[in-house]
Amino acid sequence: MVRWLVLMLCLAFGTVGAEEPEPGRTDGPEGSEYGTGGYRNYRTGGEFYIEGFFGSASVDFEVEGERDNQSETDLMSGIGVGYMVEDWLSFQVGYGVISDQDISLLSAGTRTYSDYLPFSYFFSVDGELFIPDQGDSKFAVVPGAGVELLLTEKLRVGLSYQHDFVFSDENLDIDRVMARVHFRF
C-alpha cells in the first residue's frame, strides 16, 4: 500500500512541475527543423518550370473486321509548363505531337515528386485530349512514372514512361518512352 501511495505522490508532483517549454529562437528559414541553417535542399514551392520532351510513341489500334492489331511507332516531341504548389506536388499543362501520324496531344494534370539526391522520382496523372489529323478527338487518362537526375538546383534531365488509356469505341493504346529536360525558375 505504501508503494502505491509513494508512486501516486511522485506522479502528482512530477506532472505539476512539468510545463510547456517556451518558444525559442531559430536562425533557419521558415519551416526549418533545425535551429541554425535549416534543411540543405529546402524549398517551399511556388516555382514555375518548363520542360521539353522527346522520345518514342507506340500507337496500337484494332481495326474492325480484322483479327490482328496494327501498331505504329513514331517519334514524339513536346513541351510542358507547370507550377510547383509544394516541394512534392505540381500542376502542369502540355502539348505534344506524334510526328508521322499527325496526332496532337493536349494535356493537363498533376505530378508528385520524391527527391533522393542526386535523383528525383515522379508519378503523374494527366487528362489528355487526343487530336488526330483525320478523325474524331478522344479523351484519355494518362498515368506515368519517371526518374530525373539533378544536374543543378534548377536543371534536371530524365526518362519517363506513360501509357494512354483512350476512351473510344475503338481499341486504342499509346505507350510512350521519353527523355526530358526540366528547368525551374
Domain span at residue 83 reads: 47-184
CATH of the domain at 106: 2.40.160.20
Domain contains 108: yes
Domain contains 10: no
What are the residues facing 146 on neighbouring strands? 122, 160
Domain contains 19: no
Q: Per residue in 146-184, pLDDT tens?
A: 999 999 989 999 999 999 998 887 788 889 999 999 999
Contact 127, 102 (CB under 8 A): no
Number of domains in the chain: 1
- Strands of the chain (E only): list them: 47-62, 69-84, 89-98, 103-116, 119-132, 138-150, 155-167, 172-184
**pLDDT tier at 54, thresholds 50, 70, 90:** very high
- Give the other-Cβ count within 10 Å of 42's Cβ: 15
- Alpha carbons within 13 angstroms on the beta-carbon side of residue 172 total 16
Domain contains 42: no
Domain contains 53: yes
Contact 76, 95 (CB under 8 A): no
Hey, is 3 helix, strand or coil? helix
Q: Per residue in 100-151, pLDDT tens?
A: 888 999 999 999 999 888 999 999 999 999 898 887 888 999 999 999 999 9
Domain contains 159: yes
